[in-house]
Structure 1
Amino acid sequence: MQKAILNGQVIDLKGVPRDEYQIIYEAGIHSKITCGHCGDFVKLYLGIHDRPHFFHQQSNINSTTCSEYMETTYQPIKKVTVEPTTSIEHNGFNIPKSRAIQSTATIEKSINWKEPKSINRLPPYSKSALPNQEFLNLNLDSSQYNAVTATDGPLLIIAGAGSGKTRVLTSRTAFLIKEQMIEPKNIMLVTFTSKSAIEMKERLIKVAGLTPQQIHSLVTGTFHSIFYKIVMHHEPYRWKSTNLLKWDYQKEKIIKEAARELTLDEKEFAFDQALQLIGYWKNTLLPPELIKPKDQWEERVLFLYRYYENRKKEYGLFDFDDMLVGCYHLFLEQPDLLKRYQERFTHFLIDEFQDINKVQYETIKLLSHTTKNLCVVGDDDQSIYAFRGSDPTFMLEFEKDYPNARIVTLSQNYRSSHMIVASANRIITRNLRRREKKMNASFNNGQAPFFFFPYNEEEEATMIVTDIKEKIKDGAAPSDFAILYRTHTASRAMFERLAQSNLPFKLEQDSDSFYNRRIVRGLLAYLHLSKDPNDTDALGHVLSSLFLKQNVMNDLKAISILEDCSMIQALEKITNIQPFQQKKLRKIVPMFSRLKSTSPITAIEMIEREMGFAEYVKKNGNEGNTIEKGSDDIRDLKVVAKKFKHVQELLDHVSHMVAMNKEMKQISKHYTDAVQLLTIHRSKGLEFKHVYIIGTVDGSIPHDFALESLRNGENEPLEEERRLLYVAMTRAEESLTISVPEMRRNKISHPSRFIKEFL
């Protein structure tokens, strides 16, 4: 059914712009749309596989009769008038856009709904003829068996996605102990996470039949846990656990002391990004004296770095990065101690080798120098942690340090269906800097991955939730689904739509609400002050965006009391600031009262352009962060704002979503059967029957920063972005659905260059 009644007016989907569909959809959820024939409530269907249409909530109603009646009774409309919007951004220009539509022909492009498109021209499936070998009641294919039994000298195991590397590592460890009679205490097994270490131990007992005593003797864990035990054993007073800076707020407290010496605004400086950069420097073995800052940002962070290291040394403190650096220097400074460890450990097994960083690699190289029995397992196509200092070069150039290394490639994917594997192969082979390999699937379900084309982020989220509900109705479980995205902010609409549904879902514990982001919170503060001119918390954020010191707040409070005026009115009366600042305040103070009476989208643009917030974002919105930019946050907020008529509606929505985010992180801890919301980075190592990848457009994946690097002649960031997409695709077992929105952040988007060949 293409026609229905909303607010007493006929809606004809043939005459409504595509960007109105989400508003109509939400009106249907709130029972505001009815059928003009039977009078019952109807909803707008926004799914992936069928065209948008109205449908009756009651299944016993004859929709065909109602549809025929609506088509014949209500003639096509020549003009549709919906709430106006201000502009649409295209190629850097803001183009005024009216929503008074004169004829259906003029909006053909905006209402064009595209059929989902399957990935085709894939190679035919042929079942692998890899012979199987029996070991410990496990079936190992020939490549896996070779990786398990090649125990002498350096060995590089290239383990493609889904190739059973955990099984190989477990079997190899058991083979060393049970067949080669290697003492467990002489084996070091390094995993990427503590969870992986626990899982490995459980498998060694359950599958390999090792005794708890043997497991206890085996040295296994993450680099941090193993190296920390070493330094704590030899220098217990220096490495007492009570001196560990375990939380970011503890580290921030120290660097904020240094920030005061630089007179940096504590509310505005990106301390989290500064700590990340400091961690990167430490993991790449760059002490402060070796760093040559590239810009003012790095100069400031270098000052914080020096202060941070000196203050830790003064108080005997250390952080997690120091565990790695400290162990490396311990061995360099005490060669006799190093020799003892080299003699003790005869075999080394390193998991997720593609994600190793310089300090980890150099330390392992020292330890394994005597025996050279170093087995490393990884996949250079899944190296995605460059921001932490991880470098696939150590894997790509392994033979330079170990010329006699044996190389075994695990090329059989036991996780994903043939068409998913074949599609992922086509994506990743475009990377130039990689080890040549081709993964083969162990089964074929005949279901090709496909693309779908929502209008924007809002519609994208709605269509995915609809599709998940349909699959659950057909027998799937919520835990079968994962929705993957490039950055946390990309999940905003997805979170809101899932919160609106009755579907159980889980999100990452460190994913804060989009509305708590610094720039978003700062802009929303203007709207809060328009409703309550004495909101001191909001005023604190506004002072920062006006480049005023926080101590001005005391003056404002005093003026407010003495002159019996609001805190906003007091802004006009401040005298101990520069004349140009006084002039600016006199201009913008009257605007606060106007904000609340305009539409949210208009209010945001007024704050941005007329009240000077854009200038603040330009100077402070991007500092230290190549991934998330303040201007992007504003565009994301505008997408939300377009759905509401009044400022208070937007503020109520924000409050509700912030509360929901906090509540869901608590509740979802206890969910065992729930849809997963994950960044691609966090999805690594996981697998799901059904995977959705959202926002597959240039600027999202590949990210803008990688495209900027490419323009500057750097290709590696773009190759890592392609590896990210490869990782996302290979999380899927049975079905893979990739979203290519037509609009992103109110701008016309372009399909990711990684998928253009498929389209």
Structure 2
Amino acid sequence: MQAEGVLEGLDPEQRAVAEAVQGPVCVLAGAGTGKTRAITHRIAYATLTGVVSPQRVLAVTFTNRAAGELRGRLRGLGAPGVQARTFHAAALRQLSYFWPKVIGGDPPKILESKIPVVADAARTCRLSYGRTELRDLASEIEWAKVTQTRPEDYAAAVKLSGRKPPTDVVDVARVYAMYEQLRRERNLLDFEGMLELTVAVLTDHREVAAQVREQYRYFVVDEFQDVNPLQRLLLDAWLGDRDDLCVVGDPNQTIYSFTGASPDHLLDFTRDHPGAKVVKLVRDYRSTPQVVRLANGIIDQARSETSRRHKLELVAQRADGPEPLFHEYDDEVAEADDVARRARKLLDEGVLASEIAVLYRINAQSETYESALAAAGVPYVLRGAERFFERPAVREAVVRLRGAARAGADAETDGLGLILTVRHVLAGAGFTEEAPEGTGAAREKWESLAALAQLAEDMAADNPQAGLPDFVAELEERAAAQHAPTLEGVTLASLHSAKGLEWDAVFLVGLVEGTLPIIYADTPEQVEEERRLLYVGVTRAREHLGLSWALSRSPGGRRSRRPSRFLDGLTPKTATPTPARVERTKRQGRQGPQPCRVCGRPLMTAIERKLGRCEDCPVEMNEGLLLALKDWRTEISAEQRVPAYVVFTDATLQAIAERDPDTLEELAQIPGVGKVKLDKYGEAVLALSRDR
């Protein structure tokens, strides 16, 4: 490719970036404005015009996926020799190369996880923690190391930053100090140590620094708003006294300050590099004008100085699309059910499942949406989080509940009822009535256990006679039905893990005070970072965008919640004081246990309620129909690229074969055959029934 050809198709601002081949350069790039396109074309243009050879360029980003995308685009532009790596990958490569020359001996082993060493350090300090607390301690040590805080300075640094430690500050400092001691004794190197050691080698060995700086003369750093102090230290060591540096970032997408990242490196770039060229990319090619307008409105309300400096107001380039939809619900179950219904509608209209996302603030919110999507026959995949029923806290809780059911916990806790029985068992797994303060694994564990307690409340509301065995059976059925599909599905993700991604349709859910902003966002800076999280969520949507909240957590609960303050003044005027409410569809509840259709006895398990009879009751079944239904389901699941259970579960197929319906009305009476499935599959099922 010729150099001038690289510039073709760029908008004026992108072209300005590409032609600014000499540093220092600061690119302030809003969401969807083509920043990757701009910086890859800049690198290609610089190499094709002879400003720098590809081998002398180092492009640094934060994820292996992003680094791979940079390399792929550069190859297509005629610059295949450019090095595109993460900070850690670049540091490890250099450290491995120079180790024999400047240090010698056996190189340290890279720690994939701090938790085992943190556990040993805690035991040595005579402290006892569970796995979730150990994970929080490991994260806290990581924060201390990236901010260059030593163990003896940890308490003062926490106080100065307003950070909430996962446990007593003195204990954290003790474990941190012992962790470092054990790590050195065992010749281990964590990721932060890898960066520190690389900086030390470059600082203490001039010949090494000279060789690295000769090799890399041209630097590009993506997502510069996410750089932490340790990464900045390494970047400065690479640069030396040179300034051939191009940084790219968006201060409106600063959402990782809790890990030590700071937008100040981006916002203060011109102060640190006087005379730097600044280019703003504001033409949004991703989202419709309606989505862009809402995103701008969210940032316009920002109150912090960080959010106001170098303000970027996006300018939409796409054609008009639908207005963002705001929905208020009575409870979270209703919210999830309607989101699942609307996702199903999008699928029926031709939107790919992989182009739909449901985004929430905390991972513990996923369970309600997993259940709702599965019930609506919508395949889904989880990103950045374990499936709800595979989370360690949930697995432990289910084991405890199963054991309690077998031991007759209902009798042992006579009079407490299902709700209190479940809470009693969950207390043994660490559940408390009050949520723990702070962030991290302890909070996520509590939210997961609280979700189980809420499921018990839902079951008790639907069936006041339900006992612990029924609840355990319900959990096992849910776990089986929610096995992650291997095919494409609607993405369920936290707002943090959604950064850098985009979809045709996005549902932002759970937008209430206490969740967004999160309840432990105490300082104005922390609240403004929560606002930026919402901005990131909004800007993930290309065309369809839904924002919703529920006034109570559970059906029938007190409707005391209020929508997120970040939506103030942004909801449609026709929806004041709140957007039009979508009433919750009442579930098919009964005032007592469902009777067996054969013997009339109460049905006590989930599988019995699906079949409509006791498992041991004699019943005639059309075996030929059951086999035909299973073959048909296999064909449909392959054709629609969804798991078989999404079409119909085994229990539903068995119930159909037992009842052998002749009409749509009879088919609709079978549990598991809702209106959507009746409309979609009803005639096909009846045709199979008539043939047999």
Please confirm whether the aligned pair reaches a TM-score higher than 0.5, indicating the same fold. yes
Residue 227 of structure 1 is matched in structure 2 by 91
Report the 3-state secondary structure (helix = DSSP H, G, I; strand = E; otherwise coil) of the residue aligned with 1:235: helix
Deviations 1:412-433 (A, max 9, x none): 0000000100110010122232
Q: Residue 283 of structure 1 contacts residue 357 of structure 1 at CA under 8 Å; is this kept in 2?
A: yes
- Aligned CA distance change for structure 1 residues 526 and 344 (closer, same or farther; 3 Å): closer
1:448 aligns with 2:260: no
Match of 1:749 among 538, 546, 561: 561
1:480 and 2:289 aligned: no
* Letter aligned with residue 239 of structure 2: S
Q: Does 1:468 align with 2:343?
A: yes
Q: Choose from 202, 216, 220 the match for 1:331.
A: 202
Matched, 1:498 2:369: no
Match of 1:702, SS?
coil
Deviation at 1:740, TM superposition (A): 1.5
Deviation (angstroms), 1:174:
0.2
Residues 615-694 of structure 1: pairs in structure 2 closer than 5 A: 617=432, 621-622=436-437, 625=440, 628=443, 632-633=447-448, 635-644=450-459, 645=463, 646=466, 647-659=468-480, 663-664=483-484, 667-668=485-486, 671=487, 673-694=488-509
Shift of 1:451: 0.7
- Within a 5 Å distance, the mapping from 1:21-100 to structure 2 comes to none
Q: Does 1:245 align with 2:111?
A: yes
Spell out, residue by residue over 1:652-711, the C-alpha distance to the aligned partner (whole angstroms, 9 max, x if none): 2323444556x41xx43xx2x3211111111111111000011011111111111xx1xx
Contact 1:684 1:727 in 2 (8 A): yes
More deviation, 454-463/335-344: 335-344
The percent identity for this pair of structures is 27
Cα displacement (A) at 1:299:
2.1
- Whether the 8 Å contact between 2:513 and 2:561 is mirrored in structure 1 is yes
Q: What displacement does 1:626 show?
A: 8.6
Q: Which amino acid in the other structure matches residue 569 of structure 2?
A: E
1:365 aligns with 2:177: no
Matched to 1:204, the amino acid is L
Q: Which residue of 2 aligns with 1:152?
A: 22
3-state SS in 2 of match to 1:280: helix
Q: Name the counterpart of 2:301.
A: 430
CA deviation string 1:78-136 (max 9, x = no partner)? xxxxxxxxxxxxxxxxxxxxxxxxxxxxxxxxxxxxxxxxxxxxxxxxxxxxxxx9742
Matches of 1:727 and 1:468 in 2, distance apart?
A: 21
Residue by residue, what CA displacement relative to the aligned partner does 1:505-563 show, whole Å, maximum 9, x if unpaired?
A: 21126424267454x667666644542339xxxxxxxxxxxxxxxxxxxxxxxxxxxxx
Q: CA shift at 1:649, angstroms?
A: 2.3
In 1, Cα distance between the equivalents of 2:283 and 2:384?
A: 34
CA spacing shift, 1:135–1:528, aligned 2, 3 Å:
same
Provide Cα deviations, 1:47-97, integer angstroms capped at 9, x if missing partner.
Answer: xxxxxxxxxxxxxxxxxxxxxxxxxxxxxxxxxxxxxxxxxxxxxxxxxxx
Aligned-residue offset at 1:503:
2.2
Q: What secondary structure is seen at the aligned counterpart in 2 of 1:684?
A: coil
Q: Which runs of 5+ in 1 are unaligned?
A: 1-132, 535-590
CA, structure 1 residues 601+174, in 2 after alignment: closer, same or farther (shift >3 Å)? same
DSSP 3-state at the match of 1:617:
coil
Name 1:538's counterpart in structure 2: none
Task: Say whether 1:718 aligns with 2:527.
Answer: yes
Q: Which residue of 1 aligns with 2:418?
A: 600
Checking the alignment, whether the CA contact within 8 Å between 2:108 and 2:189 is kept in structure 1 is: no
Give me the whole-angstrom Cα distance separating, in 2, the residues matched to 1:758 and 1:179.
48
**CA distances 1:20-52 after superposition (whole Å, capped 9, x unpaired):** xxxxxxxxxxxxxxxxxxxxxxxxxxxxxxxxx
CA distance in 2, matches of 1:403, 1:627: 45
Contact kept in structure 2, 1:454 and 1:463, CA below 8 Å? no
- What is the alpha-carbon distance in structure 2 between the residues aligned to residue 625 and residue 182 of structure 1? 45
CA–CA distance in structure 2, aligned partners of residues 240 and 505 of structure 1? 46
Structure 2 counterpart of 1:289: 152
- Equivalent positions of 1:307-318 (< 5 A) are 307-318=178-189
Q: How does 1:451-600 map to 2 (within 5 A)?
A: 451-508=326-383, 510-513=385-388, 516=391, 518=393, 527-533=401-407, 593-595=411-413, 599-600=417-418
Q: Deviations over 1:433-454 (max 9, x none)?
A: 2222210000232411121112
What letter matches 2:109 in structure 1? N
The DSSP-based 3-state class of the residue aligned with 2:566 is coil
Aligned to 2:78: 209
Shift of 1:290: 3.0
What secondary structure, in the 3-state scheme, does the structure 2 residue paired with 1:372 have? coil
The aligned counterpart of 1:758 is 570
Query: Is 2:57 the partner of 1:191?
Result: no
Partner AA of 1:411 in structure 2: V
**Aligned residues of 2:152 and 2:173 also touching (Cα < 8 A):** no
Unaligned runs of 5+ in 2: 159-164, 572-692
Q: Match of 1:738, as an amino acid?
A: L
The 3 A distance-change label for structure 1 pair 266 and 619 is farther
Note the alpha carbon deviations across 1:482-506, whole angstroms, 9 max, x for none: 1111111011100122233432221
Pair 1:166-2:36 in alignment:
yes
In structure 2, which of residues 235, 247, 257 is the aligned counterpart of residue 386 of structure 1?
257
Superposed CA offset, 1:309-353 (max 9, x none): 111211211122222122122222223422333343221100111
**Where does residue 737 of structure 1 map in the other structure?**
546
Q: 1:278: Cα distance to partner? A: 0.8
1:291 is paired with a residue of what secondary structure? Answer: helix
Deviation digits for residues 618-670 of structure 1, max 9, x if unmatched?
79955774982666555433331122132222222323444556x41xx43xx
Q: Specify the alignment match of 2:50 in structure 1.
A: 180
1:471 Cα deviation after fit: 1.7
CA displacement at 1:462 relative to structure 2 = 1.0
1:659/1:266 CA distance change after superposition, 3 Å: farther
Secondary structure (helix, strand or coil) at the match of 1:153 reads: coil
| 1:162 and 1:414 in contact (8 A); partners too | yes
TM-score, reference length from structure 2: 0.73
**Residue in structure 2 matched with residue 55 of structure 1 by the alignment:** none
Structure 1 residue 597: deviation in Å?
A: 7.2
Instruction: Give the 3-state SS of the residue equivalent to 2:504 in structure 1.
Output: strand
Q: State the distance in 2 between where 1:606 and 1:193 align.
A: 43
Q: Which amino acid aligns with 1:175?
A: Y
Q: Helix, strand or coil for the counterpart of 1:682?
A: coil
Q: Secondary structure at the match of 2:350?
A: coil
Aligned partner (choices 121, 136, 139) of residue 273 of structure 1: 136
Corresponding residue pairs, total: 546
Q: Distance in 2 between matches of 1:526 and 1:338?
A: 57
Separation in 2, partners of 1:239, 1:203: 39
Corresponding letter in the other structure for 1:676: T
Distance 1:287 1:674 in 2: 45
- Contact kept, 8 Å, 1:523 with 1:604, in 2: the verdict is no
Following superposition, the deviation at residue 200 of structure 1 comes to 1.6
Give the conservation status (yes or no) of the 8 Å contact 2:7–2:18.
no
How far, CA to CA, are the matches of 2:410 and 2:213 in structure 1?
69
2:224 aligns to what?
353
Structure-2 change in CA distance of 1:595 and 1:459 (3 Å): farther
